[in-house]
Amino acid sequence: MDSTDHRFTVNLSILFTELPLLERPAAAAAAGFTAVELWWPWVDSPVPEPSELDALRSALTDAGTRLTGLNFYAGQLPGPDRGALSVPGEESDRFRANIDVAADFAESVGCTALNALYGNRVESASDAEQDALALENLALAAHAADRIGAVLLVEALNAPESPKYPLVSAPKAVEVVDAVNEATGLGNARFLMDLYHLSMNGEDLHRVIDAYAAKTGHVQIADNPGRGAPGTGELDFADLLGRLAKAGYDGWVGLEYKPGDAPSAASFNWLSGTAHGKASS
């Protein structure tokens, strides 16, 4: 695959997880990458101790890796919770408590993309009530992102793996993006186009790219089936990444796949023959 036209970033919440969190940035750098991204690392703590934030910041800086994307608090990831911002009560409160903490940390390491996951549907409130709460919290997150010069990302997951998650198509996620931009007037909400999730939903990826590349703030990839590295499934990433480039997308492409049984560093063989370190800088 010719990857030299794309900037790759490694998701350290799914790759290099055989290592402690603070060792993963250096491992990614040793594998040739200068950019990384993360889900919120402290799944039980939307407001971790300052020393924990300082330690992660130092690990990123010492490794020479740039954090290009960070999730707001979203409960247990990976796991069944799948987000918090639309869930009334404690989870929404935890999300709100995390907003400025996540934004401030992102600013301190030069991160300019913050991902806010919707929550699963709950029976204690109507869908309309959950959606209204989500829009309110997403607007707060958009303002925090704007304060640090970042974009707010809204992601579609897939229905087979997240049946209670309400955003399981590209059009539905983009609808929320548009609603946030209309509510805030900031224009900094963007679609997170995860090609694995969209493929799992059975969407036509060519049509999604052509329709929504202009509203996309970040792309993530994994092959389907299996959520493994490109080449382990049936998706044609040379074609898909080429189509993204043709559609005008020139942002980061996050590697958010499972490495399999081998160490994570061995999962980058599909990039052999390309200057992936250069492409990810």
Residues known to be catalytic: 155, 256
Q: Residue 23, exposed/middle/buried by CB under 10 A (0-12, 13-18, 19+)?
A: middle
CB proximity list for 176: less than 8 A, separation 6 or greater = 118, 134, 135, 138, 154, 167, 189
Q: What is the DSSP letter of 41?
A: S
Helix or strand holding residue 10 (H, E): strand 7-11
- The H-assigned helical ranges of 64-169 are 90-108, 127-147
Joined together, the tokens standing for residue 276 give 């992936």
Instruction: Report the candidate in 116, 243, 257 with the shortest Cα–Cα distance to residue 189.
Output: 116
The C-alpha angle with vertex 100 and arms to 99 and 105, in degrees rounded to 5, equals 105
Amino acid at 120: N
Joined together, the tokens standing for residue 163 give 């049946």
Q: Residue 124, exposed/middle/buried by CB under 10 A (0-12, 13-18, 19+)?
A: exposed
